[in-house]
Structure 1
Amino acid sequence: MEHREFYVSMALIHRRSNLSWEVIIVYGPADHRRSPAFLQELRNKVDRCTTPVVVAGDFNLIRSPEDKSSANVDVPRMRMFNDCIADLALREIARVGARYTWSNNRIDPVRSVLDRVFVSVEWEMAFPLCSLRAVTRVGSDHSPLLLCSGRASPPRLNCFHFENFWLGQTGFVEAVCVKWEAVATSPPRVFNAVDVWHHCAKMARQFMRG
């Protein structure tokens, strides 16, 4: 395992294929005056790797104007980021599940694609059926990314679907209210109001599923 200012990395071995590769998790600086130092550190790391690599994380950089919901973009900075990715011969894994991966959570929010997964050509050749999904964002301004190598069926996301006909069932609303109030009075842990809300919502969903 290696730790530097802008990344942590770890060597992995895929037991079934005996393939070794390195995972590099990055966190790009929000202060864009430090972006050149971040990209140079990433260049140095990938250049030293002798195995396939996966580079993932919050880059705090965008690649094109379409990656941001506002028109306030820095073209030279985008070019610098794209040049770095091209020089390292990395390929971005196409993402499904969300148009953007970050939001500033304002009333009139700005949204951007700041989180990405890049792989080397050797890794992509070993896992040609790989896929990337942005899963539901809970309690964060970023959407988690789930990378699947494609060697097995991707996990099914256990989504809750409210059925409108439940509202027509006698006593349904009252029963849910009673369950919610009972759970709210004895949450397993309380850090803030959001924790209480998530716990109550989780238990209410389980109750409504029967």
Structure 2
Amino acid sequence: MMIFAFGLAMTGQALAQSQTETPAPVEEPAARTLPAEPAEPAPQETPDGVEQEPAAASPETDEEASETGTFSVKSLDLGTALIAAAKSIETCNADGHPVGVSVVDAFGVEQVTLRSNLGGPHVADTARRKARTAVTFNMNTMELNRIAQQGEPWGLRTVPDVVLLGGGLPIRSANGDLLGGIAVAGGGGGANEEICARAGLDAIAEYLE
């Protein structure tokens, strides 16, 4: 009986102790920290106090542009072509030569063709063909005529629509890119016609980037 009573007393004491103990706190999972978003560039302020939007991303590279399947070229605008043609006409007219002048783009497509009041019936068409010839070979037509006269195996005279007469010049940018061609016809010979054409080029030199 004493052993049984002692056992009951120990069991009661254990139950009482278990009821008074505080359960251990359960740890909650740590909160996830999201990466901070990049800050937008602040607007820049110009010297006059006007806020300016941040610069846009740089344009695509040449390699990226080639993946679009297109390309771009430079060419004279109509106003610049008119200035060159008018100056060539004026220069030849001052020497007493009624001429035709033509300006074409880098593909030989006509941009401007002018004819003096007393210019003959063929000067406009001849000037146009000279300008196309200068663009085709990227060379002045006086030099092409010299090469052909030497009997070089170019077969230049057999190429359709090529005119191997002086007076046609390629139009190039400041860094050498072909922009088009200009030519004069009816100006008293190739040497004088080239002088008139070059006067037209000099008149637009400042616009040729």
> Which TM-score band applies after superposition, normalised by the shorter structure?
under 0.3
- The answer to which structure has the higher helix fraction is 2
Q: What TM-score, normalized to structure 2?
A: 0.26
In our comparison, the structure showing a higher alpha carbon Rg is: 2
